[in-house]
Each structure stands twice: as structure tokens, then as C-alpha cells.
Amino acid sequence: MSLPNWLGNTLELPVLGSPLFIVSGPELVIAQCKAGIIGSFPALNARPVEKLDEWLTRIAGELGEHKALHPEKKIAPYAVNQICHSSNDRLMKDMETCVKHKVPIIITSLRPPSEIVEAAHSYGGLVFHDVINVKHARKAAEQGVDGLILVCAGAGGHAGTLSPFALVREVKQWFRGTVLLSGAIADGWGIASAIALGADLAYIGTRFIATEEANAEPGYKQALIDHAAHDIVYSNLFTGVHGNYLSPSIAAAGLDPANLPVADKSKMNFGSGGNTKAKAWRDIWGSGQGIGQIVDAPPVAELVERLKVEFTAAGVDFRTRALA
């Protein structure tokens, strides 16, 4: 299996909108799915824990109604991200709720526990696990995940340092499941590049923060418009895991972006949200290196239409060059 046929047939673009802590809520997910790309959110965004059941009911209900009114349109499925870390004391409770609602896709982070895979597979759900290197990819594959999200250099939030040219091609040598690529993808040309490299889906987060439906404060959206790749800082200070952040937000929190201390990884805490008084992602804004391509914050539907035009143009250009 590479990309399941049932999944490919629901998509206008080969894109999964990645789960964004705090930022991704029902409004963003529903807009993404209606536009024909997979929408997702972290289960921990639904607070308190009972809120997750409400969100899943709303998402499924609104997408079902939209499909009934527009049977000719492609409506993508949605996904829920589970943070598989000991500090997440909601994990199994949230997973029980996901099983109840038969969430189509579960995205796992940090650790690919077999019990999550087993639970999702019990009703036919897919599990995609994010990794930053081949070692982690092999461990996830051994747990039976259906897809690997290769989080490469330049990705927003928790990101790796490997080039996609290295990681994608190496993983493709032995993994037969779905491959998703993350890392500074912000337009249709980036999506086409991911597909040309061998990925089945592009995994895009930062670009969707700067949209009308995203639950991000106006200052955050404007910062993504105003800044570029050189404004990104890679640090593990804020959660214990290395990630990419906007340096102006770090400076606004009273820290020197050029002289950040190294955090103790053993103190990762996804319950309280970090290792400093300034919280990731509330105060310290995550961002990928592709923000130089962000010039506005349109509705999701408008952005996806733009991405489709760019994706098509990139394909035509590639074929023209290949045949020249």
C-alpha cells in the first residue's frame, strides 16, 4: 500500500494540513476538509477532555451535511493527533473517544505505541506517525503504522535536521506504506516537489496558520506575513524537543534568540506546555522556514484553490523541462 485508493479519491490536492497546537480547531479542520485536503488537530486542543467528543461530533456532522448538499464535491477525511508521551495523561481516554467516533486517521507523535495502532485498526482507521530520522521510521514501521510523516529540515514546530532528499529516498527503499513529507512547504510548487521526490502527500502546517479560520491571534498571522526564513530559530528550550520558532516572538518574551540555553529533554511536559514561563505555542510562535512565501491570510478555500493552480503549473513546467 502507498496511498489507499479510498483516501486518494477524496482529495483535491495531495495535502494533509498538519495538527497545530492551539491553532487547529473545528473551524480550520472543517474548512480544510471541505476544500479537499485532510484537516487535523491535536486531541489536546480540545479542553477539557470532554470537549473532544463535542468536536468530533461537530466535525463529522458538518462534513456529512456538506457532502449531502454537494455530492459532486470531494470532501476529505479528518485526522486527530495523539501525543504519545508519559506526560500526556489523557492519551488513552482521548483514544477511546476517537475509537467511538471512528476517526479516519490518527497521527501519532514522539512514540508509536502498538496499542494506538491496534485501536485504530479495530475499526479500519489509519495511523500515520511522524519521524525525523530512519531509526525512528523503522521503529514505527515495526509497530504496524500505515504511514510515515517525514519531518525534515525547515518544518515548523518540532522538526528534524535531515534534507528531504536524503530522508525520503532512503525510507522509500524499504517502506511500502504511505509517505508524507513535511518541511518548508508553503505553495503548490512545494507540494509538487514533494510528490516528485516520492512522497504520497505533502504535510503543511505553517501556511494554514495564516488563514481566516485558524485559531491564531492576529499578531501571529501578521508575523508570518512579515518575516522570512532568516527569522526562524531552532531550539529545544521550550518543550524539550528541538523545533523551529519565530525569533521575534522569542525576543518579545524577553529572551535572546541568538543565545538560548539547551533544555533538559527529560523534562518534556505536554501537560503544562514547556520549560519556560513563556509557553510554546501560546507565547513562542512555531513556524517553518517557508514563511517567505506567505503574503496574506485568506480563507482556507481561497488558499487551497491557489495551491491547486500552482500545483498544476508546477507539473506542466516539470513536464516541459523533462521533455526539452
Q: Round the average pLDDT of the chain to a whole number and report it.
A: 93
Residue 55 lies in a domain: yes
Q: Does pLDDT of 272 surpass 50? A: no
Cα R_g (the chain), whole angstroms: 19
What secondary structure does DSSP assign to 60-85, as a single string?
A: HHHHHHHHHH-TTS----EEEEEE-S
Beta strand spans in the chain (E): 15-17, 39-42, 78-83, 105-109, 126-131, 147-151, 157-158, 178-182, 201-204, 232-235, 243-246
Residue 267 lies in a domain: no
279-310: b (≥16 Cβ within 10 Å) or e = bbbebbbbbbbbbebbeebeebbebbbebbeb
CA dihedral 186, 191, 193, 194 (to 10 degrees): 110
Q: Does pLDDT of 311 surpass 90? A: yes
Q: Does pLDDT of 298 surpass 90? A: yes
Does pTM surpass 0.85?
Answer: yes
Q: Does pLDDT of 264 surpass 70? A: no
Whether the Cβ atoms of residue 137 and residue 158 lie closer than 8 Å to each other: no
CATH number of the domain that 142 lies in?
3.20.20.70
Please write the tens of the pLDDT for every residue from 25-66.
Answer: 999 999 999 999 999 999 999 999 999 999 999 999 999 999
Residue 252 lies in a domain: no
Q: Does pLDDT of 270 surpass 70? A: no
Length of the chain: 324
CA dihedral 315, 297, 207, 82 (to 10 degrees): -130
Please write the tens of the pLDDT for every residue from 201-225.
Answer: 999 999 999 999 999 999 999 999 9
Residue 178 lies in a domain: yes
Residue 224 lies in a domain: no
Give the burial class of 197: count Cβ atoms within 10 A of its Cβ; 0-12 exposed, 13-18 middle, 19 or more buried: middle
Residue 188 lies in a domain: yes
Rounded CA gap, 102 and 294, in Å?
35
- Peptide bond between residue 174 and the one before it cis (omega within 30 degrees of 0): no
Whether the Cβ atoms of residue 106 and residue 125 lie closer than 8 Å to each other: yes
Please write the tens of the pLDDT for every residue from 73-103.
Answer: 999 999 999 999 888 999 999 999 999 999 9
As for how many domains the chain has, the answer is 1
| Long-range contacts, stretch 60-66, CB < 8 angstroms, 24+ apart | 60/101, 62/26, 62/30, 63/30, 63/33, 63/34, 66/34
Rounded CA gap, 258 and 115, in Å?
41
Rounded CA gap, 212 and 134, in Å?
36
Rounded CA gap, 164 and 199, in Å?
10
**What range does the domain containing 133 cover?**
5-215
Whether the Cβ atoms of residue 28 and residue 209 lie closer than 8 Å to each other: no
**% of the chain surpassing 90 pLDDT:** 83
Q: Does pLDDT of 156 surpass 50? A: yes
Residue 41 lies in a domain: yes
